[in-house]
Amino acid sequence: MTADYENAPLPGAPTGPRDGRRLRVLAAMSGGVDSAVAAARAAEAGHDVTGVHLALSANPQSFRTGARGCCTVEDSRDAQRAADVIGIPFYVWDLAERFREDVVEDFVAEYAAGRTPNPCLRCNEKIKFTALLDKAIALGFDAVCTGHYATVVLAEDGSRELHRASDMAKDQSYVLGVLDERQLAHAMFPLGDTLTTKGEIRAEAERRDLAVAEKPDSHDICFIADGDTQGFLAKHLGSAEGEIVDQDGTTLGSHEGAHGFTIGQRKGLRIGVPAPDGKPRYVLDISPVDNRVTVGPVEALDVDALTAIKPRWCGTAPTGPGTYTAQLRAHGGDTEVRAELLDGELRVTFAEAVRGVAPGQAIVLYDGTRVVGSATIATTAHRETAASRG
């Protein structure tokens, strides 16, 4: 079912009822403390809130439990208990098939092509703010509420803008950079515009009698149960012996599948021949065509420019070249860039070289705190040599 975004009512204020409107809000509750507090804040603000937990695995027991999970049976029960305390209706929605197709299969396909994807970013794009939002709007909800640390700002012209969270230490706008303006119009992030530490969020949860107050944060990839990404990929893609070579093409060792490596990797290379200078080697390039992995010195990881594809804009697409800051990893810093959209591709040059950038990663552009948009890195290059990767 496709939602009618154009005719759906828009939230007057994405993070709270600043215009006095009572909104119908669907709160995505993962079973963690952030989403529970976000749902509680939305309800306390006077909105008509319904909680929903997304069942993303046909066999949720196979997802990781405890401190590292986010989609397990115990998580759904934690979300249920939190909804009961808040006093809101609660449902579990089965999106396992959609998650498998749009996130898990995409993850495997990207690695098979020698790229390094971000499954959390893809989940936000395809699941939480497409599949979930489509269903929410079709059912008459005005907004989807999550526990992300980011803010949606209502601009003077009535458009919605995505901005970094007030607390930069917890900012999660990078993984939301795939959202377009229409999706932002139906997004609510109650945690993003308050300067509170994670400890204070936990204290608030405890004051609200939410049992998840001390529950550890989830991290890593939820659908890889044991945390062994290489083992997961080998199971799905199989093993195929290939060469590990240096920049001159000299064979240094072998491997059991190029998909088991990432750009910038240092450990686990199992190279028996030391470098002439005795310094460590790093993965510089991954070629799935000939199943070859190229390694070399850390300096060879420096990147001056890149091209990125499949751009998504959090508002109107920029026209002409511009200067922005860019973030290349979910927990990375930002760097100054010059970017321009040419023939549907984003061409980016860095003011200073950056290191360890891999095809498949997302680059997110910022204008101050405002998220301009994101794109998927296709190739990287040194301006001096025009040597490309990807």
pLDDT tens digits, residue range 297-340?
999 999 999 999 999 999 888 888 999 999 998 888 899 999 99
Q: Is the pLDDT of residue 388 over 60?
A: no
Instruction: Give the DSSP H or E segment for 33.
Output: helix 33-44
Amino acid present at 325: T
pLDDT value, residue 112: 87
Can you tell me the distance from the alpha carbon of 249 to that of 293, in angstroms, rounded to the nearest whole number? 10
Q: Is the pLDDT of residue 387 over 50?
A: no
CATH of domain 300-389: 2.40.30.10
CA distances from 308 to 176, 190, 288, 373 (A): 17, 32, 19, 12
Q: Is the pLDDT of residue 378 over 60?
A: yes
Whether 120 sits among the annotated catalytic residues: the reply is no
Instruction: Give the DSSP H or E segment for 15.
Output: none
pLDDT value, residue 116: 87
Q: Rounded mean pLDDT of 186-198? A: 85
- Identify the band that residue 6 occupies on the pLDDT scale cut at 50, 70 and 90: very low
Q: Is the pLDDT of residue 11 over 90?
A: no
pLDDT value, residue 330: 84
Rg of the chain over Cα atoms, rounded to whole angstroms, equals 22
Q: Is the pLDDT of residue 279 over 50?
A: yes
Render 164-181 in DSSP notation, one character per residue.
E-SSGGG--GGGGTT--H
pLDDT value, residue 219: 63
The 3-state secondary structure of 229-282, one letter per residue: HHHHHHHHHCCCCEEEECCCCCEEEEECCHHHCCCCCCCCCCCCCCCCCCCCCE
Can you tell me the distance from the alpha carbon of 192 to that of 173, in angstroms, rounded to the nearest whole number? 9
Q: Is the pLDDT of residue 150 over 90?
A: yes
Catalytic residue of the set 70, 120, 145, 222: 222
Q: Is residue 267 classed exposed, middle or buried when 0-12, 13-18 and 19+ CB atoms within 10 A define those classes?
A: exposed
- Identify the band that residue 390 occupies on the pLDDT scale cut at 50, 70 and 90: low
Render 93-143 in DSSP notation, one character per residue.
EE-HHHHIIIIIHHHHHHHHTT----HHHHHIIIIIIIIHHHHHHHTT-SE
Q: How far from chain centre, in Å, is Cα 184?
A: 16
pLDDT in tens, 70-102: 567 788 899 999 999 999 999 999 898 999 999
Q: Which letter, b or e, does each residue of 350-375 get, where b requires 16 or more Cβ atoms within 10 Å of its Cβ?
A: beebbebbbbbbbbbbbeebbbbbbb
Whether 314 sits among the annotated catalytic residues: the reply is no
Fold of 24-214: Rossmann fold (3.40.50)
Q: Rounded mean pLDDT of 133-141? A: 94
Q: Is 249 left (phi over 0), alpha (psi -120 to 50) or beta?
A: left
Give the residue extent of every domain in the chain.
24-214, 239-296, 300-389
Place domain 239-296 in its CATH homologous superfamily.
Adenine nucleotide alpha hydrolases-like domains (2.30.30.280)
Catalytic residue of the set 70, 123, 145, 314: 123
